[in-house]
Amino acid sequence: MTINATHSASGSDCSALSFGDPTFRDEIRIICGENVLSCYQCGECTAGCPVAFAMDIAPNQVMRMVQVGMRDEVLGSSAIWLCAGCETCRTRCPKGVGLSKVMDACRQIAVQSGIKAKEPNILKFHEEFLKEIARNGRVHEMSLVAFYKLRSKRFFDDMLSGTQMFLKGKLGLIPSRVKRVAEVRKLFKLSANR
Amino acid sequence: MKYAYFPGCSLESTGKEFGESTRLVAEALGLELVEIPDWNCCGATSGHALDHTLSIALPARNLGIAEKMGLDVMAPCAACYNRMRSAEVELRENAKLREEINSNLEDPVLGKSTVRSALEVLASPESLSRIGERVRKNLAGLRPACYYGCLLIRPPKVLGFDDPEDPKSLDEAMKAIGAEPVDWYFKNECCGASFGVAKSEIVVKLVGDIISNAKKHGANCIVTACPLCMTNLEMRQAEASKQRHENLTMPVFYFTELIGLALEVPGVRKCFASHLVDVNPVLDLIDRNLISTART
């Protein structure tokens, strides 16, 4: 695929880029407030990313692809799911762009648009985590792992260390619950309707 | 000093030694911690990974209750601290979102309370001088690699604490109790955080890099201020050792446990029993060192 683009002198004005979905970057900006057009491709984000080695597209490439509106390619990538949210890129970006926030927004758009996650188990984990909060207002780590295993069918992962933790009294059996859990559920409703 | 204390989910479970040692040390230093009544989960990584509004709304409820208590918040867990502080800053700046969230809360957020981590509170100059005065057992011989990870120091524009590229607070806290922290390269690298469950191969690689570097620089233990870092560093040592063909067994401590040890706070030694990696070799080393310095 070739990018037919006219670069401006500053190198950061992508408004003239001619292919893809130009509304994608606006969608992202509405969710997280980040202006991806500021990125001038220095590569600092990729240089410092601890998970770049495992990604199908590098962090700076995600940024470029968002700029030119390659919506499907970005939302279908493993990169958006493998971002650990360590905030190194956001800390070091010389243009002050929060790539970690862009990654968050991409994940949110992917889920809302029903795009299949390239790292389905990571999505399952996040979903089970939020379900725990909606249920009890807090996360009961033992239940979280149990529900995650049921959904991902990865029953035998980390059996030994899990048992060890249980024996050390680190995984209690009874979930602690928020009394005003209805108020917490209202916050879920607010977010869903926004 | 008095704080609205936010334990968070981990400190009731996998990170219970962190919660316990934080409470004990705070008490010994005359800091009063009042638990935020009926607190809810901060949403952690999963909250902001999937839903931006929710990632602000969940911490907002806790902030509102803390404001009603008239206190600033102390949240020891790195993720809780980071999420609560991010919410605090965004709610201050975004009036529209604040109004929307407040209309769903019993105790609205007005922006009066601020959020601090246990590290920020306990490594402040006042706390450090108080710790220094109360040391009863010098931890000479302890050479910790002080591991800050991500969420206690980044992003600096939101947290405004320590230097994100060369943090020093944890090192200062360790020096105050007589330990000799080593210089090393991985103090602010990521451990893989919540991928410990769903993508553990990434965590094994990162944990291997971290512990290997700590060993190379002469550390005999790692010190952390984050329950997720602790879980990953302890749980993935064996796999990382196998992967790198290197012995990466290394005790990991919460900084509050070591402060408690140096201050001889009653009850703090109980915390060591729930570690997954045996910490006794290092504790014995400290005791032997104490005996030899007493003789000379």
Smallest CA–CA distance, residue B181 to chain A, in Å, is 24
| Mean pLDDT to the nearest integer, A153-166 | 83
- Quick one: pLDDT at residue A14? 55
CATH number of B136-295: 3.40.50.11810
Q: What are phi and psi of B86, to 5 degrees?
A: -60, -40
- What is the mean pLDDT of the segment spanning B150-178? 98
Which range is most confident: A2-11, A162-171, B83-92? B83-92
Q: Which of B39, B202, B274 sits opposite A170 (nearest CB)?
A: B274
Nearest CA in chain A to B10: A141
DSSP string, A69-128: T-HHHHHT-SHHHH-----HHHHH-TT---HHHHHHHHHHHHHHTTPPPSSHHHHHHHHH
For residue A181, which residues of chain B lie inside 8 Å, CB to CB? Answer: 40
Tell whether the model's pLDDT for residue A1 goes beyond 50: no
pLDDT over 50 (residue A8): no
A175-179, B51-55, B112-116, B242-246: least confident range: A175-179
From chain B, the residues in CB contact with A86 under 8 A are 150-151, 154, 190, 193
B75: nearest Cα among B111, B36, B118, B43: B118
A85 contact B CB<8A: yes
Answer positive or negative: Cα dihedral of B242, B246, B249, B253: negative
Which helix (H) or strand (E) covers residue B33, if one does?
strand B32-35
Compare all CA atoms of chain B with the CA of A104 and give the residue at the minimum distance.
Answer: B49
Share of chain B above pLDDT 70, in %: 98
pTM for the whole structure: 0.94
pLDDT digits (tens, 9 = 90+) for B143-158: 999 999 999 999 999 9
Q: Does residue B247 carry a pLDDT above 80?
A: yes
pLDDT, tens only, A168-187: 888 888 889 999 999 999 99
| Long-range own/partner contacts, residues A168-171 (CB < 8 A, 24 or more apart) | A168/B273, A168/B274, A168/B275, A168/B276, A169/B16, A169/B274, A170/B13, A170/B14, A170/B16, A170/B274, A171/A141, A171/A142, A171/B13, A171/B14
The CA distance from B285 to B265, in Å, is: 19
Q: CA of B84: how far to CAs of A1, B76, B163, in Å?
A: 43, 11, 20
Q: Is A188 on the interface with B (CB under 8 A)?
A: yes
Angle at alpha carbon of residue B239, lines to B238 and B244, rounded to 5°: 100
HSE-CB at A44 with a 13 A cutoff on CA atoms is 16
Measured in whole angstroms, the distance separating CA A93 from the mean position of its chain's CA atoms is: 18
* Interchain CB distance below 8 Å, A91 and B154: yes
Alpha-helical segments (H) within B135-190: 156-159, 169-176
- What's the average model confidence in pLDDT over A2-27? 63
Residue B219 and residue A174: Cα distance in Å, rounded?
Answer: 38
SS3 B47: helix
pLDDT at A164: 85
* The pair of three-digit structure tokens given for residue A105, joined into one six-digit string: 């927004």
- Of the candidates B92, B193, B205, B13, the one whose C-alpha atom is nearest the C-alpha of residue A140 is B13
Question: For the domain A24-112, what is the CATH code?
Answer: 1.10.1060.10
Provide the 8-state DSSP code for B124: S
* ipTM score: 0.94
CB B55 within 8 A of CB B291: no
Res B140: pLDDT: 92
Q: Nearest 10 degrees: CA dihedral of B195, B79, A137, A104?
A: -60
CATH of B2-118 given 3.30.420.280, 3.40.50.450, 3.30.465.10, 1.20.1050.140: 1.20.1050.140
In chain B, residues with a C-beta closer than 8 Å to the C-beta of A129 are 44-46
- Peptide bond preceding B155: is omega within 30 degrees of 0, i.e. cis? yes
Quickly state the pLDDT bin for A114 (edges 50, 70, 90): very high
- Whole-number pLDDT of residue A13: 54
Secondary structure class of B32 (helix, strand, coil): strand
Instruction: Identify all chain A residues contacting B53, using CB atoms and an 8 Å cutoff.
Output: 190-191, 194
Nearest to B85 by CA among B42, B123, B121, B31: B42
**CA dist B218 to B73, B207, B211, B282, Å?**
36, 17, 11, 13
Which H or E run contains A186? helix A181-193
- Residues in chain A with CB shorter than 8 Å from the CB of B228 are none
Q: Where are the alpha helices (DSSP H) in chain B?
A: 16-28, 44-50, 52-69, 78-93, 95-102, 118-122, 125-134, 156-159, 169-176, 195-198, 200-216, 227-235, 237-244, 255-262, 280-295
Domain ranges in chain B? Answer: 2-118, 136-295
Predicted local confidence at residue A155, as pLDDT:
82
- Of the pLDDT bands very low, low, confident and very high (cuts 50, 70, 90), residue B3 is very high
Q: What pLDDT is recorded for position A62? A: 98
- A146 has a chain B CB within 8 A of its CB: no
Could you say which residues from 93 to 132 on chain A have a Cβ atom under 8 Å away from some Cβ of chain B? 98, 100, 104-105, 107-108, 111, 119, 121-122, 124-127, 129-130, 132
Q: Which residues of chain A does CATH 1.10.1060.10 include?
A: 24-112
> Does position B292 have pLDDT exceeding 90, yes or no?
no
The residue among B11, B35, B45, B197 with the most chain A CBs within 10 A of its CB, best to mutate, is B197
Q: At what angle do helices A59-67 and A24-32 cross, to 10 degrees?
A: 110
